[in-house]
Structure 1
Amino acid sequence: MRILILHNRYQIGGGEDVTMQTEKALLEANGHTIALLEVNNDNITSSLEKFKAAVSAIYSLSSKQLVLAEIARFQPDVVHIHNFFPLLSPSVHYACQEVGIPVVQTLHNYRLFCLNSYFFREGKVCEDCLGKSFPWPGIYHGCYRDSKTAASVVATMQFVHRFLQTWENNVDQYITITEFARNKFIQANLPPSKLTVKPNFIYPDPGEGHGKGKYALFVGRLSPEKGIKTLIKAWEKLDTQIPLKIVGDGPLADQVKQAANKLSQVEYLGRRSTQEVHSLMGEAMFLVFPSEWYETFGLVAIEAFAKGTPVLAANIGAIAEVVDPGRTGFYFRPGDADDLIAKVESILANPGKLTHMRREARAEFEAKYTAQRNYQMLMDIYNRVVNCKR
């Protein structure tokens, strides 16, 4: 099968980028011919380029022509869109419709119905725009780039394409990563018949670790919605001295560095390679996943499972589907540092339970998140849309 992947990269090394690259590698390893058409937000630097990007986010004629040219050159059986915002724009959906190529789109976030794509504002979950024909609250609060002007552009994109029914008519099948995310998109009025759940996966298998490092680990973007403030607050108050290693980068990196300088049990490691992250995961006692927004999945959780490492997760959003409390990890109340402390102390008081959970975490990975299982699910989706189009 010939598959054209469209991707507007906005965060190198982010979950969406990693998922796309991993999926591409898996398809190529199974003999499929892949073309990747990718644009990069890093190229938006000058004020003029920012203005052009804002206008093109609603509908870009140049992106449509670019995709039509690539389709004519490559002759794909299916087009898989991972992200179109802002440079590619929804015009790429119309390019595919114009030439009769089936479209699969992975919904990595909530951009179609939330201006900042997170359903998160001012430190808490926000659904003020969910179900509204025009997202006025998001403009009022400047939910995109803290700017009412920028938010107005995204709101216009959402409104125009809801009115045109682009999302209903120009995508043959959506991929959601969890049932939780699927239900949110149904609430937002996407057709249930076009929403298929296919989780993320790890490829290649990094192999099981040993869990002998006697430390806790956080891996992720250092931003408010990821719960990093709650995590640091918990370690400031935690009586039991268990080291916490923090891997990642983001807008709160300076606060994390300050905490690491202040607290002897906190170590900030910055960005690390995938191999280094997997090694750290394999030796960690447990991974902490303190996210406070509706994660669509939680890739680092299944990376931890692959290494046999249990996950201590905030009980919110899609991660509640991924972690089986008492078997592959534990939950704590999102944003509640005291509850996080209580769960950490409970884990440390029962090392035998932790050993059992390591086996179960690895078993969960082998049952649900291997590359082969994911490949079969992905090909089922591709074959379905291709056959329907024919």
Structure 2
Amino acid sequence: MRILLIHNRYTQPGGEDAVFEAERALLERMGHRVVTFVEDNARLDGVNPLKAAVEAVWSRETQRRLKRLIEKTRPDVVHFHNTFLRISPAAYYTVKAMGLPVVQTLHNYRLVCPGALLMRDGRVCETCVGRKVPWPGAVHGCWRGSRAQTAVVAAMVAVHRALGTWERKVDRYIALTEVARRRFAEGGVPADRIAVKPNFVDPDPGAGAHDGGYALFVGRLSAEKGVRTLLEAWKGLRGIPLRVVGDGPLRGEMEERARDGGVEVEFMGRRGREEVLRLMKDARVLVFPSVWYEGFPVTLAEAFACGLPVVASRLGAMAEIVEDGRTGLLFKPGDAQGLAETVAALWGDRRRCEEMGREARSAYLARYTADANYERLMAIYRQAIAEARA
């Protein structure tokens, strides 16, 4: 199969960029001819803000370049990962005008929430879900804390909702979880076109011995990741070392609070994937206290692949991926005391911890391997091709 993958990279590399590369590599390994069309938001530096705003809604430059690429490569299916900001949804129109099927992975909630997180002021917020014009997001400056920049996102969503882009120009959507599928359907994305396909971990890192004697956090040090809850919880967890892998805007605050509170935590900064997996193989438990729905945290699938049980918030994707009492334990989002009690209970029962680790490993083998993901992806491509032909 000839497959065109389209992706708009973010200024700061993130999970969506990693998933795009992982799926590209998987498709190539399986023998498909893969062509990529990639833009980068870093190229917006120095661009007139008004021009950038207009092109976020409709980029004619993207249309011209994409048309030439399609004429040259003649793909069987076109798979979009991200169109924001430089590519724009105008690209769908070019692809459909050339009679090709369109697949769109919904990595975040931008089609129903200008801030993309369904979160405001540290809490879950669904005010914009289902609105034809998501104006509350612009009023509150939900993207980057800027009303002007959020207004650009809201305008893009509103214009293409009015044009019927989401209904008429995409043959199949990929949601990463059932929770996300429901939210998008409530927000107006055609429910009968949304398939659920999680992210995957490849290659298989194998299970670890988990004898390092520490708990582990891996993620961006930002408010939505629940890092303040994490640190508050650890004030009451004497004797349980915590290693924190990652960086972000709250790192300085966390380090200062840890020093002042005498919290037993080691801040390790950003680490490469291989080292993260090694840490997961040694850790006794992964702590994942996010206070937003999440998309599909690859970190959880990586932990499962390493046979590492997870203590996570009972919210969104986390509550769907982590089976409470089987592959880990869940606690109330934002509840530092509840998190501390949950971690302490699991930490004190080594046998239960090991049993959950084995169940986590089994869940990985059943759901999150490259082979399982490939079969789901090809089924979605076939559905999109049949839909476009019809």
TM-score by length of 2: 0.97
Structure 1 residue 255 and structure 2 residue 247: aligned? no
> 1:361: which partner in 2?
360
Could you report, residue by residue, the CA deviation over 1:161-211 in whole angstroms, capped at 9, with x for unpaired residues?
000010111000000011000000111121111000011111111111111
SS of 2:174's equivalent in the other structure is strand
> 1:265: which partner in 2?
264
Separation (CA, whole Å) in 2 of partners of 1:258 and 1:81? 42
Separation (CA, whole Å) in 2 of partners of 1:78 and 1:54? 29
- Counterpart code for 2:21: Q
Aligned length: 388
Provide the identity percentage.
Answer: 48
SS of 1:199's equivalent in the other structure is coil
Structure 1 residue 5 and structure 2 residue 8: aligned? no
- Counterpart code for 2:298: L
CA contact (8 A) 2:331 2:338 kept: yes
SS of 2:206's equivalent in the other structure is coil
Deviation at 1:259, TM superposition (A): 3.8
CA contact (8 A) 1:180 1:296 kept: no
Deviation at 1:219, TM superposition (A): 0.7
> 1:169: which partner in 2?
168
Alignment of 1:75-90 (within 5 A): 75-90=74-89
> 1:192: which partner in 2?
191
SS of 2:235's equivalent in the other structure is helix
Separation (CA, whole Å) in 2 of partners of 1:359 and 1:316? 23
- Counterpart code for 2:361: R
Separation (CA, whole Å) in 1 of partners of 2:257 and 2:76? 51
Could you report, residue by residue, the CA deviation over 1:48-67 in whole angstroms, capped at 9, with x for unpaired residues?
34432222111111011111
SS of 2:136's equivalent in the other structure is helix
CA contact (8 A) 1:8 1:85 kept: yes
- Counterpart code for 1:14: G
> 2:35: which partner in 1?
35
Separation (CA, whole Å) in 1 of partners of 2:258 and 2:348? 25
CA contact (8 A) 1:8 1:40 kept: yes
CA contact (8 A) 1:222 1:248 kept: yes
Could you report, residue by residue, the CA deviation over 1:277-336 in whole angstroms, capped at 9, with x for unpaired residues?
111111110101101001122211110000000000000011111001111000010000
Alignment of 1:112-261 (within 5 A): 112-238=111-237, 240-261=238-259
Deviation at 1:258, TM superposition (A): 2.4
Task: Show structure 2 runs of 5+ residues with no match.
Answer: none
> 1:307: which partner in 2?
306
SS of 1:57's equivalent in the other structure is helix
SS of 1:145's equivalent in the other structure is coil
Deviation at 1:261, TM superposition (A): 4.2
Separation (CA, whole Å) in 2 of partners of 1:49 and 1:223? 29
Task: Show structure 1 runs of 5+ residues with no match.
Answer: none
Alignment of 1:46-85 (within 5 A): 46=46, 48-85=47-84
Deviation at 1:388, TM superposition (A): 3.0
Separation (CA, whole Å) in 1 of partners of 2:274 and 2:13? 13
Could you report, residue by residue, the CA deviation over 1:198-242 in whole angstroms, capped at 9, with x for unpaired residues?
11111111111111111111111111111011101111232x311
Q: 1:144 to 1:53 in 2, by over 3 A?
A: same
Question: Which deviates more from structure 2 when the two are superposed, residues 65-74 or residues 121-130?
Answer: 65-74
Separation (CA, whole Å) in 2 of partners of 1:22 and 1:261? 38
TM-score by length of 1: 0.97
Q: 1:43 to 1:258 in 2, by over 3 A?
A: farther
Q: 1:11 to 1:349 in 2, by over 3 A?
A: farther
CA contact (8 A) 1:115 1:143 kept: yes
SS of 1:318's equivalent in the other structure is helix
Deviation at 1:253, TM superposition (A): 2.0
CA contact (8 A) 1:286 1:309 kept: yes
> 1:110: which partner in 2?
109
Deviation at 1:20, TM superposition (A): 1.0
Deviation at 1:347, TM superposition (A): 0.7
SS of 2:78's equivalent in the other structure is strand
CA contact (8 A) 1:259 1:266 kept: no
RMSD (CA atoms) = 1.3
